[in-house]
Amino acid sequence: MNWFVEILKAILLTVVLFTFLAVVAAMLGVLAERKISGWIQSRLGPKHVGPQGLLQTVADTVKLLQKEHITPLNADALTFNIAPVMVVVAALLAWMIIPFGPAFGRVLVVRDINIGLLFFIAMASLIVIGILLGGWSSNNKYALLGGFRAASQMISYEIPLALAMMVPIMMAGTLSTVGIVEAQAGGTLDMGNWFIFGGRFQWRGVIPSVIAFAMFLTAATAETNRVPFDLPEAESELVAGFFTEYTGMRFALFQLGEYAEAFAMAALASVLFLGGWHGPVLPGVAWFFIKMFALVFFLMWVRWTYPRLRFDQLLNLSWKGLVPLGFLLVLLTGWLLV
Amino acid sequence: MPERVLLDWLYVAVFAVVGVVMATLPLGIVWLLAPRVELPQKRMTYESGVVPFGQAWAQFNIRYYLFALIFVLFEVEVIYLFPWAVVFRQLGKFAFIEAVLFIVILGMGLIYAWRKGALEWV
């Protein structure tokens, strides 16, 4: 094995994946969010830049590139500037294990790491450390409160997230994402073995995976700090939460990190429960993107459907609801599948 | 097999390093393009438009430290469950009963914390 070639390949893949995230997750994601928000609220959303406002986020990025780089005098300058980079890099690393589908005779995935899901959880919690760093180093009361809220939210919802992942892991018997998707191959129309339809266990698989899917989406919404769990950046009480002090490009980096994480969660949900790239007629990669965008649309829909939770409700939902439910779910799955 | 695993982590390392470079790149462009006008008010901490009152780095009670302790406990439990979840179908009933015992014991811990009021937001 030629290590030099491998390193060059890795560098190239980083650039490709980063560009993919910047274009699809950040630019397309923000545009979709604004357009869908507009339609749900009976308005048009951005429509003047480019055809139907398609180039709005491109224009925004160009604008943000020209904004002054301001570090507040009281802030801890080093950590203040590291935090947004850390959020982006953690989101980028989380995307390493997401398989896009078969193409050119192999599966399109950066690395099929054998402990992929564990790696994903680790990287998803690194994002929160970046947020906490940003909130603390701003030396701003709103930002500090936002950072602490993000930390408490992360510790409350990481356990339900991991427990919801446990069900597909138990059904597939592997932690590798490619292995989990391959365990969902076949069945009627190449859909019958999706874990949400019970995989190869028929009705014994349906019950736990439907509950786990709902739990995963709830916990993922909370982990990505999206409405109704957007307490860390609650704009009506904390201005902008942890990124109150951030301007220009560093603000955009935070946005990129957040959208990349939200898209990663949607992609992982489709890998774990909706059969990844499996589906009838269309090529695999197309199915993967259809499922991912459907789930992203669902997240945006939820945003305009539920009001923000109060802090004690948020903690109760996790510790008195999802955590006991998650452990019972693992036991139920074990009982049904053993 | 170990060489493949080593290669996985080489990729992770390269991704981390090159990712940092890629994420810092736009900041470099900002440094080249953006205007720089020094004004003392501009670098003031934002506090809804009034002059900031003291620092944010004050001592205050982080009220969820009990949650943090419970989190550590259950996160470790979840980590132990991961390898079990991978192999439990090959091990059969015995592994399932062991996991039941494990979860029930820690579940009693959760009930204890709940009854003691550690899960209340005060």
Interface test with B, best of A98, A235, A249, A331 (most B CBs within 10 A): A249
Interface test with B, best of A170, A175, A245, A312 (most B CBs within 10 A): A170
* Residue A210 CB-half CA count within 13 A: 8
Q: What predicted TM-score, i.e. pTM, was given to this entire model? A: 0.89
**Predicted local confidence at residue A9, as pLDDT:** 83
Residue A11 contacts B where some CB pair is shorter than 8 Å: yes
| H/E run at residue B85 | helix B65-91
Residue A247 contacts B where some CB pair is shorter than 8 Å: no
Determine, for residues A7 and B18 on separate chains, whether the beta-carbon distance falls below 8 Å: no
Helix, strand, coil percent content, chain B, rounded in steps of 5: 70, 0, 30
Radius of gyration of chain A (CA): 20
Counting every residue written for chain B, the total comes to 122
Q: Which residues of B104-115 are buried (b: 16+ CB within 10 A; e: fewer)?
A: eebbeebeebee
**Predicted local confidence at residue A216, as pLDDT:** 92
Instruction: Give how far B87 is from chain A: nearest CA, Å.
Output: 6
Task: Find, among A302, A275, A277, the residue nearest to A289 by Cα.
Answer: A277
Residue B30 contacts A where some CB pair is shorter than 8 Å: yes
**Predicted local confidence at residue B1, as pLDDT:** 61
What residues in B contact A96, CB-CB < 8 Å? 11-12, 15
Tokens of A100: 């896009």
**Predicted local confidence at residue B95, as pLDDT:** 83
Residue A129 contacts B where some CB pair is shorter than 8 Å: no
DSSP A320: I
Tell me the per-residue pLDDT of B64-83, one tens digit each, with 9 for 90 and over.
Answer: 778 888 888 888 888 888 88
Spell out the alpha helix ranges (H) of chain A. Answer: 3-20, 29-40, 56-65, 77-94, 116-137, 141-172, 177-182, 203-223, 235-238, 248-272, 284-303, 311-316, 323-337
What residues in B contact A14, CB-CB < 8 Å? 14-15, 18-19, 22
What residues in B contact A98, CB-CB < 8 Å? none
DSSP A105: T
* A68 three-class SS: coil
Instruction: Give how far B120 is from chain A: nearest CA, Å.
Output: 8
Residue B122 contacts A where some CB pair is shorter than 8 Å: no
Task: Find, among A311, A319, A294, A316, the residue nearest to A230 by Cα.
Answer: A311
Instruction: Give how far A21 is from chain B: nearest CA, Å.
Output: 12
Q: What are the pLDDT tens digits along chain A (338 aa)?
A: 688 888 888 888 888 888 888 888 888 888 888 889 898 999 888 888 888 888 888 888 888 888 888 888 888 888 888 899 999 999 999 998 999 888 887 888 888 888 889 899 888 888 888 888 888 888 888 888 888 888 888 888 889 999 999 889 988 888 888 888 888 887 777 777 888 787 777 778 888 889 999 999 999 998 888 878 887 777 778 777 788 888 888 888 888 888 999 999 999 999 988 888 888 888 878 888 999 999 999 988 988 888 888 888 888 888 888 988 998 998 888 888 87
Q: d(Cα A280, Cα B94) in Å, to the nearest integer? A: 39
When CB atoms are compared, the residue of B71, B74, B103 closest to A330 is B103
Instruction: Give how far A198 is from chain B: nearest CA, Å.
Output: 16
